[in-house]
């Protein structure tokens, strides 16, 4: 039996369905569904039970916890513009500690979601070096909440026999539709092209970067979930630790949007607009995962190129009547 927190969310629901494809249907989904369309992410997922996140630790669940063979912890607020720090501390930090303690108590292999937001402006690089993790300076409260949990985990003397913190870079793909402004630029660009024929991108407000040439490590969600599953199924005890999950190659927003136009067989038309003042000081102009560490333990991990991933997302999901991961 496998527990997936955040199992109705973007990455969590794709992970759950990916587990289904690999023969795992005894899933316990933990999440908050709210009033948006997040519930639709579960329509193609086979699972045994759903537990509201606020109720997971309110009852004696020893019978359930003792049967778990893996925990994938993706339940968190992932908004980089969230400014309610108390909320983030409860949802992203305290709840995550409870999950880690659960995994430790029952010795359940655990994969949890960290974030590239922990790296801040990247001045210290993007290497997943645990000995330097404490010195990272996130730019926003979300990144801070993820960073201090990483720090807490690294300070624990008692842990599950196998645990993995995964620092996601810019993930895009199916089932992100409920995320509002936190949707990927791929999905936003697709919508803008369908309605106006052109895409709006932020101008650069930093010397050394031309408009549209801000660089990010864009990674396809299918690759992320495959990697997370492999961490549990294809590694040994000694591999526990914190790992980057990107592609290892930064690409520009112009590259990204051009790939969307090409997937739709359209000529690129781009308009540059000012970046909102409230995010300028928090904006990352460059991210690129150092993938050397994770490739040592997952040498067979396959990653889509930007063009391959965008083409698959657009042509096999976004243009379909049912755009959800199946």
| Range of the structural domain that residue 161 is part of | 2-172+220-247+288-304
- Within-domain flag for 326: no
Instruction: Give me the CATH number covering residue 163.
Output: 3.40.50.720
Task: Find the mean pLDDT for residues 19-37.
Answer: 96
- Within-domain flag for 122: yes
End-to-end CA distance of the chain: 21
Catalytic residue, candidates 40, 179, 203, 311: 179
Quickly count: other Cβ atoms within 10 Å of residue 181's Cβ: 8
User: Quick check: is 177 catalytic?
Assistant: no
List pLDDT tens digits, range 69-90. 999 999 999 888 898 999 999 9
Mean of all residue pLDDT scores within the chain: 96
* Nearest C-alpha neighbor of 9 from the set 35, 43, 32: 32
Phi-psi region of 182 (alpha: psi -120 to 50; beta: other; left: phi over 0): alpha
Cα gap 216→141, rounded to integer Å: 20
Sort strands 241-245 and 170-172 into parallel, antiparallel or unpaired: unpaired
- Within-domain flag for 155: yes
Overall pTM surpassing 0.85 (yes/no): yes
Catalytic residue, candidates 72, 112, 142, 313: 142
Cα gap 218→252, rounded to integer Å: 9
List pLDDT tens digits, range 235-257. 877 899 999 999 999 999 999 99
- Within-domain flag for 183: no
- The C-alpha angle with vertex 288 and arms to 119 and 80, in degrees rounded to 5, equals 45
> Count of domains in the chain?
1
User: Quick check: is 179 catalytic?
Assistant: yes
List pLDDT tens digits, range 117-162. 999 999 999 999 999 999 999 999 999 999 999 999 999 999 999 9
Scored b (16 or more CB within 10 A) or e, 269-302 reads ebeeeebeeeeeebbbeebbbbbebbeebbeebe
- Within-domain flag for 47: yes
């Amino acid at each position: 039996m496998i527990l997936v927190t955040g199992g109705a969310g973007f990455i969590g629901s794709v992970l759950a369905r990916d587990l289904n494809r690999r023969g795992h249907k005894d899933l316990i989904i933990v999440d908050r569904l709210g009033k948006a369309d997040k519930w639709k992410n579960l329509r193609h997922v086979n699972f045994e039970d759903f537990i509201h996140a606020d109720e997971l630790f309110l009852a004696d669940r020893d019978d359930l916890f003792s049967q778990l063979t893996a925990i994938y912890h993706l339940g968190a607020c992932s908004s980089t513009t969230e400014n309610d720090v108390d909320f983030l501390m409860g949802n992203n930090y305290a709840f995550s500690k409870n999950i880690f303690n659960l995994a430790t108590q029952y010795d359940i292999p655990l994969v949890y979601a960290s974030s590239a937001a922990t790296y801040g402006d990247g001045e210290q690089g993007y290497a997943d070096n645990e000995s330097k993790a404490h010195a990272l300076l996130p730019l926003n409260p979300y990144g801070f909440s993820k960073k201090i949990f990483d720090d807490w985990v690294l300070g624990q003397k008692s842990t599950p026999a196998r645990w993995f913190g995964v620092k996601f870079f810019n993930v895009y793909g199916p089932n992100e539709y409920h995320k509002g402004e936190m949707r990927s630029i791929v999905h936003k660009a697709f919508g803008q092209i369908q309605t106006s024929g052109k895409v709006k991108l932020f101008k650069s407000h930093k010397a050394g970067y031309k408009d549209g040439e801000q660089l990010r490590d864009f990674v396809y969600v299918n690759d992320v979930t495959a990697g997370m599953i492999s961490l549990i199924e294809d590694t040994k005890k000694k591999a526990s630790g914190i790992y980057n999950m990107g592609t290892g190659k930064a690409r520009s927003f112009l590259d990204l949007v051009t790939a969307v136009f090409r997937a739709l067989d359209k000529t690129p038309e781009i308009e540059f607009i000012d970046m909102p003042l409230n995010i300028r000081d928090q904006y990352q102009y460059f991210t690129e995962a150092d993938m050397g560490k994770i490739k040592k333990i997952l040498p067979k991990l396959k990653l889509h190129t930007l063009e391959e991933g965008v083409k698959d997302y657009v042509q096999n999901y976004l243009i379909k009547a049912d755009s959800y991961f199946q």
